Structure formats: structure tokens, C-alpha cells
Amino acid sequence: MKTKNRLAYTLSAVLIVLTGLGLVAAIGNAALAETEIVVFAAASTTNAVTEIGEMYEARQLGRITPSFASSSTLAKQIENGAPADVFISADKKWMDYLEEKHLLTRGSRFDLLSNRIVLIAPAESALKQIEVRPGFSLIGALGEDGRLSMGDPDHVPVGIYGKEALENLGSWDPVKERLAPMKDVRAALVLVERGEAPLGIVYATDAAISRKVRVVGTFPAVSHPPIVYPVAAVADGNISEAQKFLSYLKSPDARKVFEKYGFEVK
């Protein structure tokens, strides 16, 4: 009888422990879910934001789930109710777009980064340096059938910057019918990497991460508006956790990562 009672007691104790462990795991998972945020970020920030998100999670500050695309695509998704907590845009236009629709948390917006746009060619291209100056032409460098790879100038920030620069330099009209307009800057980069386009316009940070392209020209800063990356918390998101992550983006650790990838931190 004593043996049976002892066995029953032991089994009960094991069940209590297992139940307790289950509750701890459940509580831990719930806490992690509460600190998980979705970050919609411009495609050009892919490497930097991914690394910063990994650092953030390693420090047990929360879990970051990033989503990368052109700023225009992300802004439209947020407008249509996509579950985002933080938005990192490659230009002010699309951040303004959301702010005007009251889709951002008031007071959370600030300018985080800046960048440059450059002209790239495949690494093995025979093209030499191109002097990007008023009146310069890309037609000869493109060849008979070549196209200029760039973000779609109708809505993708890098394409908008590129078009403005070419217009201000008086070089847009000859080349506007020779474009390969892409969905975002990374797609424009890939087209040149594959040798499917002899030239492309991308951010300096994107050119720097690829060994398959080289910079053959740099656009003067005065040829286009300043390239600024604003960030903000999305109004319908997890505002407290979003604010915490936005603060981390201004930390020395995050600054080192952004600068490693060639961004200038504001």
C-alpha cells in the first residue's frame, strides 16, 4: 500500500513539474510574442536592418520580423492594412504620404540615414569611368540595344532620384526610352550583376555590397534632392515596442552597422 501511495505521489509530482514547465514555456512564448515587431524597410536597407534585427534579438530586447521592398510598395501595403509596426522609407515622399493619412504615430518620426546614387556597370565590363556632369550622355555606353537599369521612376525612390538627377543634368530625354524600370533598387542591381543591363543607377550602399558590379560614376549631390531615410512607428502597430526599436536604431551599436554598409547616420 505504501509503495502504491509513493508511486502515485511521484507521478503527481512529475505531472506538476511538467505542467509547470509547460506554463513557463507558454509564458515565455507569450512574452516573446508581445515583443515581436514587424519592420517594413526599404530594400536598400536589407543587409543593415537584418543584422541590426539579429543583434536586437541576441540582446533579448525583442524579435524583429523584417519585410523589404520599395518604399512605395510598403507604404501602399500599410495604407491597405498590412500589419506593420515600424516603417523605414528611402525617401520623405512615401513617409509624408502615410503621415498625411494619419497612419503614423505622432511624434515618432525622425530622419535616420542618408545615401548617394551612383552609376554601375558589370564588374567585367570594358567601360571606363564616366564623368557625370551637365550634358553627359549614356547612349554610347549603353550600346545599340542596352538599357539603363534603375528603380521605376514613377514610384521607386532610387528611380525618382535618378530621374531627377538626369533631368537636372540635361541627360534624361535621350535615355528615357532606354530604361529597364525595376520594382526596387535590389532588382536593378541584380540586372546589372547578371550582365543583362550594361549600366544601372543604384544607391552607393547597394553597389558596395556586390562584387559583381563596379561604380563607374557618381552623381553630384546637387543634381538631386538629398537622399534621406525617415523612420516612424505605424499608428496601428505595437507602439511601445516600436518606439523601443526606433530608439535602438539610434544607438552606437546600430550606427556601427549602418556605417559598415556605407550609410551616413543622421
| The three three-digit cell numbers of residue 185, written as one number | 533598387
3-state secondary structure of 118: strand
CB 38 within 8 A of CB 237: yes
pLDDT at residue 27, as a whole number = 40
- State the Cα–Cα distance between residues 24 and 156, nearest whole angstrom: 46
The domain spans of the chain are 33-114+228-265, 117-218
Q: What is the pLDDT along the chain (266 residues), one digit of tens a residue?
A: 444 444 343 334 433 444 444 443 444 444 444 679 999 999 999 999 999 999 999 999 999 999 999 999 999 999 999 999 999 999 999 999 999 999 999 999 999 999 999 999 999 999 999 999 999 999 999 999 999 999 999 999 999 999 999 999 999 999 999 999 999 999 999 999 999 999 999 999 999 999 999 999 999 999 999 999 999 999 999 999 999 999 999 999 999 999 999 999 99
pLDDT at residue 28, as a whole number = 45
CATH of the domain spanning 33-114+228-265: 3.40.190.10
Do domains 33-114+228-265 and 117-218 share one topology? The answer is: yes
Of the options 3.50.50.60, 3.40.470.10, 3.40.50.800, 3.40.190.10, the CATH number for the domain spanning 117-218: 3.40.190.10
pLDDT at residue 2, as a whole number = 40
pTM of the model: 0.86
Nearest to 122 by CA among 223, 193, 217: 193
CA atoms within 13 A on the CB side of 53: 21
- State the Cα–Cα distance between residues 264 and 89, nearest whole angstrom: 15
